[in-house]
Amino acid sequence: MSGITRYIFRQLAIGTLLVAIALAFIVWLTQSLQFLQFVINKGLAIGAWLKLTMLLMPWFISVILPAALFLVTLFVYNKLTMDRELVVAQAAGVSRFGLAQPALMSAAVATAFGYLLTLFIVPATFQSFRTLQFSIRNDVSQILLREGAFNQLSKDLTVYVRGRAENGDLLGLLIHDTRSKDGAVTIMAERGAVGRADNGSRVLLFNGSRQALEPGNGNLSVLYFESYALDFGALTPSGESRYESNRERSTWNLLTATPEDGRPARISTRMRAEGHQRLTDPLNALGFTCIALAFLLTGGFNKRGQTRRIVGAIGAVVVLQSAALGAANLAGKDSLFTPLMYVVALLPVAAGLYIILQRGGRINAPTLPLGATTA
C-alpha cells in the first residue's frame, strides 16, 4: 500500500467512523423518545430503557453506514482537490484508479461489515428488542407495578402497591378484581410476590383479606388468609403469542419462505423480498462510493465546477435510493421483480468502475496557463 493510499484511507476510515457514530446517536435519540412512555406510564427503570433502545443501534448503523461513507468520500476528495493534492499525486504518476483505491477499500470494508450487521447482528438484536418490548407492554410483572399508584393492568384489574422491600417483595397491596361474573372482589394484603404461571403471571399474597358481595342477597363476605394466590394470566394479554416480524427472522427463513409453510402467498413473497433486501442493502456502501468517485475523479482538478459535481453525485444517490426502494416494493408484490433489486444495487458499482477505469485510468489534469504552477 503506497503512502498516498494510506493517507487517503486513514482520512476516510476515521471520518466515516465519526460520522456514522454521530448520525446513529442522533437517530437513536429521536427514536428513543417514543419509548419514554414506558418510563413515565409503567415505571420502567432507566437502565432497562437504555437496554431496550440500544438494541436498535445495530439497525441504525446498518442503515446509516453507506450514507456516512458517501458523505465522507465527497468531503475528503473535494478537500484533496481544493488543496491541489490530487494534482500533485497525478504528477507523481498515480493513476485515477490508484486514487480511487483507498475509497474502494473503505467501501469493501463497509460492505463486509454491513453484511455482518444485516445477516446476523440486526436480526438477533431486533428479536431481543421485540421480546423485551412485548414483555414490558403485556407481561404482568413487577416492572408494571409502580409504587404509590393505582396500576390499571387491564379494564378488570386494578392493583395498588404501597412500596417494595429490599428483596423485591411488594408491600401494602390493594387489588380490585371485577373479572368474575359473580361480582367484584377486593383483596388487601400486607405482602406479596409476583411470579410466573403457566398461562402468564400470578401474585402470591400473605396476611390479608378477601372481600366480596355474595350473589343474590348482597351480603358482604370476608375471608382472612395467611397466603393466597391470584392468577393474572386470564386477565391480561400476557398469554397471547407474539407475532414474529420479518426483521427479526433469520435470513435463511426469509429466503426459503413458501406458501406451503401455511402462510398466504403475499406474505411469503414479502418475506423473500425482505431476505433479498438484506443481500442488496450492504452493496449501497460500494455503489454510493463508486458514484462519488465517478463524479469527483473525472474532469479537471480545479475549483471551477466542483460544486456542480458534488450536487450531481448527491442527486444520483437520491435517484438510486429511490429506485432501490421502488424495486424492493415491487419484489414484495411479485417475485418476478426480485432480479431488479440486484440490478439497481450492482449497476452503480459497474458504471462507476467503468468511468473510473476508462481512458487508461489516467486523470484529466487541469489546463494551466503558460508559466502557471499548481501550488
**Is residue 28 pLDDT above 60, yes or no?**
yes
pLDDT-derived band of residue 374, with 50, 70 and 90 as boundaries? very low
Distances (CA, A) of 337 to 272, 289, 341: 11, 25, 7
The label of the residue with cell 467503468 reads: 354
pLDDT-derived band of residue 361, with 50, 70 and 90 as boundaries? very low
pLDDT-derived band of residue 363, with 50, 70 and 90 as boundaries? very low
**Is residue 63 pLDDT above 80, yes or no?**
yes
Q: What confidence tens digit (pLDDT) does each residue in 183-195 have?
A: 889 999 999 887 7
pLDDT of residue 364: 46
DSSP label of 245 = P
Q: Could you tell me if residue 43 is left (phi over 0), alpha (psi between -120 and 50 degrees) or otherwise beta?
A: left
Distance from C-alpha of 192 to C-alpha of 170, rounded to nearest angstrom: 5
**Is residue 234 pLDDT above 70, yes or no?**
no
Q: What confidence tens digit (pLDDT) does each residue in 71-97 have?
A: 999 999 999 888 888 878 877 878 888
Mean pLDDT of the chain: 84
DSSP label of 249 = S
Taking a C-beta distance cutoff of 8 angstroms, is the pair 98, 360 a contact? Answer: no
21 against 197, higher pLDDT: 21
What would the mean pLDDT of 316-342 be, rounded to a whole number?
A: 95
**Is residue 160 pLDDT above 80, yes or no?**
yes
Distance from C-alpha of 261 to C-alpha of 362, rounded to nearest angstrom: 55
Grid coordinates standing for 332?
Answer: 414484495
Q: Residue 91: which H helix or E strand, with range? A: helix 85-91
Distance from C-alpha of 283 to C-alpha of 290, rounded to nearest angstrom: 11
What would the mean pLDDT of 160-167 be, rounded to a whole number?
A: 85
pLDDT of residue 57: 94
pLDDT of residue 124: 94
pLDDT-derived band of residue 156, with 50, 70 and 90 as boundaries? confident
pLDDT of residue 188: 93
**Is residue 288 pLDDT above 90, yes or no?**
yes
pLDDT of residue 194: 79
- Secondary structure class of 196 (helix, strand, coil): strand
pLDDT of residue 59: 94
- Secondary structure class of 140 (helix, strand, coil): coil
Q: How many CA atoms lie within 13 A of 42 on its CB side?
A: 21
* Percent residues over pLDDT 90 in the chain: 49
- Secondary structure class of 51 (helix, strand, coil): helix
Grid coordinates standing for 331?
Answer: 419484489
**Is residue 68 pLDDT above 70, yes or no?**
yes
In the chain, the amino acid numbered 220 is L
pLDDT of residue 193: 85
pLDDT-derived band of residue 141, with 50, 70 and 90 as boundaries? low
288 against 50, higher pLDDT: 288
pLDDT of residue 139: 57
Q: Which of 99-113, 130-144, 285-299 comes out lowest in average pLDDT?
A: 130-144
Q: What confidence tens digit (pLDDT) does each residue in 248-286 have?
A: 999 999 999 888 777 888 999 999 999 999 999 999 999
pLDDT-derived band of residue 66, with 50, 70 and 90 as boundaries? very high
Q: Residue 149: which H helix or E strand, with range? A: strand 149-154
pLDDT of residue 302: 60
pLDDT of residue 85: 84
154 against 101, higher pLDDT: 101
Domain map of the chain by residue range?
A: 3-138+246-361, 145-235
